[in-house]
Structure 1
């Protein structure tokens, strides 16, 4: 089974990795419980992994495979490629992509949440319906402190308060900038 996107996407990723000096590419997938998993490869391995997938022991992942049928393939979806910012040491940026999980025969793995979603949305479409969803991410900023104590909010503002001078306002602006740099649109922001 071919990757979700064509050679032009793969070529774009390979070119970007080289041009940006990316030294590590994280391949992401979820287990059946929704827990994000990750394996990192070097740029030298990337083209081969695009072509052949990355074989790993699925029996080590909750809900994936039994020991006697354990090996599966992680096949990166180049259309999901993003560049994560450099680490705290200012070193090279890291690339990341979501993967489709396949059997060794190249078929979608039944325990891959992406494959399940793709199959179910196809069934919904065949039944004449449209499937639409969107995430709503909410988060809070807490002051640094003793990790053994209950976290304290960074500010005292309430829901939808106008806050232009507090620390959290600047953090929200910077967070939006980072999300948009990764091509994640932000519809709006509020306290």
Structure 2
């Protein structure tokens, strides 16, 4: 990022700049799939847009072909305004503001994922529980030149590499996120060649979901500026590590003490009864959560059986093959948390976080018992013809996950029937399209052998 842009952004933020002071403002919202959408207006139109909103067709939210919900309205949330910390190529300043989406009656649109999450947080607070979320998204930095899909370096987990242009992308991204109010804890090399992760500080559910989308957009922008691609696809490279989205969740009290509710010094492993019930709820609804957390055909290439792949419907503290992990230092109460290891960045984080909270409540309300931890480090899920795995597996493909979502009343109620219907329709369309293709692997394997 040019130094001038960073300096200008710092000056703008310190001066308390408003949307009207920008050259342009991008009105941000997400479709059901979790992709950032935007409408850009000149600053001269800001006040009118803020007061009256802007109409948008429901097919933009629900997917092409579904025009049953027209006349939606974007209403900017001034409290969610951000100064974009880089200028356009011609030097213009751009502001960002997330929007509420209202229906024709002026009510929150039923399939607006940010609204669903906001409502879930309110419901959680009414139970005396404040959700705290963190997210770590892996991504590959690939060269935007020939040969295509070539990683920027040959490093592996935590390596210090000498190809520093990739580090510069992470630094540019970290600077930009900091300027948008997102505290970056650090960045490092992940297990695959050219694979990185930028870790930002945990926070409330809505802010964390928003920041994850901004991270993806910002990393892609900064990578393009340096002749690279930031790729969040779950499994972009065959025979290489996939890109995970590790979601960290805990609950704290809503009183002034904000006591960490997942920690109990007198309980086994310091896991409070509330923590155990919440985790049991997540295990109960793990298959439906997989449909939301792993929504593409490609997602299940990453969740294929392999050492360290998080495919077990189980929890542990040290087992890399379990989908859920209890993390944190037992001596630091506020660090006790649940880590979901199976999701990937193709998810809509607002919908996924909403469903996680619903699974928590179901476990708490029903007093579900938590099964024991699974710590068989050398175990791997059985292949066809092999022995039966002692614990269940997550769905092995997208259709199985979508069926689980449709059969899970708790998760369906949380995300809403309209969003769930759009989600499953999109997933089945992708699955159908995939099966119309003839891949190079099939040609190589069968062209002359059958």
Which TM-score bucket, shorter chain as reference?
0.7 to 0.9
Q: In the alignment, is the contact (CA less than 8 A) between 1:155 and 1:166 conserved in 2?
A: no
Higher relative contact order (CA 8 A, sep 6+): 1
TM-superposed CA distance for 1:156, in Å, is: 1.8
TM-superposed CA distance for 1:124, in Å, is: 2.2
Q: In the alignment, is the contact (CA less than 8 A) between 1:80 and 1:98 conserved in 2?
A: yes
Partner residue, 2:79: 79
Sort the Cα spacing of 1:165 and 1:145 in 2 relative to 1 into closer, same or farther, 3 A.
closer
Sort the Cα spacing of 1:68 and 1:175 in 2 relative to 1 into closer, same or farther, 3 A.
closer
Sort the Cα spacing of 1:109 and 1:143 in 2 relative to 1 into closer, same or farther, 3 A.
same
- Verify: 1:62 aligned to 2:95, yes or no: no
Q: Relative to structure 2, which stretch is displaced further, 163-172 or 118-127? A: 163-172
Sort the Cα spacing of 1:170 and 1:67 in 2 relative to 1 into closer, same or farther, 3 A.
closer
Q: In the alignment, is the contact (CA less than 8 A) between 2:158 and 2:188 conserved in 1?
A: yes
Q: Secondary structure at the match of 1:168?
A: helix
TM-superposed CA distance for 1:127, in Å, is: 2.9
TM-superposed CA distance for 1:70, in Å, is: 1.3
Which deviations, in whole Å up to 9, do the C-alpha atoms of 1:139-170 show, x marking residues without a partner? Answer: 22222313xx5411112222111246633233
TM-superposed CA distance for 1:116, in Å, is: 0.5
- Verify: 1:133 aligned to 2:138, yes or no: no
Q: Under a length normalisation based on structure 1, what TM-score does the superposition of the two structures give?
A: 0.77
Partner residue, 2:142: 142
Sort the Cα spacing of 1:30 and 1:171 in 2 relative to 1 into closer, same or farther, 3 A.
closer
Partner residue, 2:251: none
Sort the Cα spacing of 1:130 and 1:183 in 2 relative to 1 into closer, same or farther, 3 A.
closer
Q: In the alignment, is the contact (CA less than 8 A) between 2:26 and 2:39 conserved in 1?
A: yes
Q: Under a length normalisation based on structure 2, what TM-score does the superposition of the two structures give?
A: 0.35
Partner residue, 2:116: 116
Q: In the alignment, is the contact (CA less than 8 A) between 1:28 and 1:97 conserved in 2?
A: yes
Determine which of 10, 13, 28 is the counterpart of 2:18: 13
Sort the Cα spacing of 1:167 and 1:33 in 2 relative to 1 into closer, same or farther, 3 A.
closer
Runs of 4+ in 1 over 6 A off after TM superposition: none
Larger Rg computed on CA atoms: 2
Q: Structure 1: any 5+ residue segments left out of the alignment?
A: 1-10
Indicate the structure with greater helix content. 2
- Verify: 1:156 aligned to 2:154, yes or no: yes
Q: In the alignment, is the contact (CA less than 8 A) between 1:63 and 1:111 conserved in 2?
A: no
Sort the Cα spacing of 1:109 and 1:154 in 2 relative to 1 into closer, same or farther, 3 A.
same
Q: In the alignment, is the contact (CA less than 8 A) between 1:56 and 1:74 conserved in 2?
A: yes
Q: Secondary structure at the match of 1:116?
A: helix
Q: In the alignment, is the contact (CA less than 8 A) between 1:71 and 1:104 conserved in 2?
A: yes
